Structure 1
């Protein structure tokens, strides 16, 4: 049996330096929130260093097998939210539909309004990375990325692109939107890789 102190220590081990745990789910983004009136116009692209680029319709994307994911999330603005329960589609499931070229090493996530963020391919392919559709039993709201957001819980949450529309596979790393504007190229919360002004 564990006592309260041990439980608190275990929780503290999950919270990166400089973070404060919140029970809420703060809304942070740049630009306007996209709203969708006709989902037949929504699609999802896998392109770049692939043998054949593919586009998946909204209907076909939503028909992909889903599973439950449990994680903690950490925002660069210093809040952390523990014990999230998601319903989503694993990266591995989506990757069954495309064959990468051997030189692919990085990805650029492409979202609405031209928003982008970069990841090493290995981080994108982790078992813990997925395309989120529901959070804590509820469909994602527009503010939180409806209809689909990327979720990469081991990195700061700006890497979990809202309103994702595609993944570009690349040979070399390059900065996305926030990375071009001073954010760290990788973003490990436990190393406090928040900003990179060098």
Structure 2
């Protein structure tokens, strides 16, 4: 790699991070393995005019696009130049009417895991529902069948095994935030833990 490319990559790696070519697997608890996808759905609830449940078949039929990004894990690794295939948040939100006091989102995943986001971060053009990574369907360890991807925040905010999106008036901590992680998680500010 040329000196110019090294510097360009360095400018994309936040403080305290190390670039990796691998895609480390980190989680707490068991990995869910789905056998009957007719039992999978994505619930949308909370401060919405009408709650919804999107079936696996319906979700997989939604229009998809490619997303290119860098991802940064709170455990200090960064993986650059990821190519994802997924569903834009706007594609889902075009069908949902939020109540005016909706300002935050709680992402709910299998196993009781959850993480919080400000609504504007959830709705960012760079946020999406990931189905494939670098041309391959997500593995169960990486969040199959659907994971949220919010690349401008630490990667724990990109909830694996996504099952629900709850809209809230006030911010509240999810599982990871209740257990010591920062409420927001900006990699460029090293917002790793709530005691930082």
Give the TM bin, normalised by the shorter chain.
Answer: over 0.9
Q: How much does 1:7 deviate?
A: 1.9
Structure 1 gaps of 5+ residues are none
Taking the TM superposition and a 5 Å limit, the aligned residue runs for 1:37-76 are 37-76=35-74
Structure 2 gaps of 5+ residues are none
Post-superposition CA distance 1:54-104 (Å, at most 9, x none): 111100001000000000000000000000000000000011111000000
Total equivalences in the alignment: 196
> Structure 2: how far apart are the matches of 1:179 and 1:134?
27
Which aligned segments of 4 or more residues in structure 1 are displaced greater than 3 angstroms?
Answer: none
TM-score with structure 1 setting the length: 0.97
Post-superposition CA distance 1:96-154 (Å, at most 9, x none): 11100000000000000111000000000000000000000000000000000000000
After superposition, the CA RMSD in angstroms is 1.0
Corresponding residue for residue 101 of structure 2: 103
Give yes or no for the alignment of 1:158 onto 2:156.
yes
Q: How much does 1:8 deviate?
A: 1.5
Taking the TM superposition and a 5 Å limit, the aligned residue runs for 1:1-198 are 4-197=2-195
> Structure 1: how far apart are the matches of 2:168 and 2:110?
20
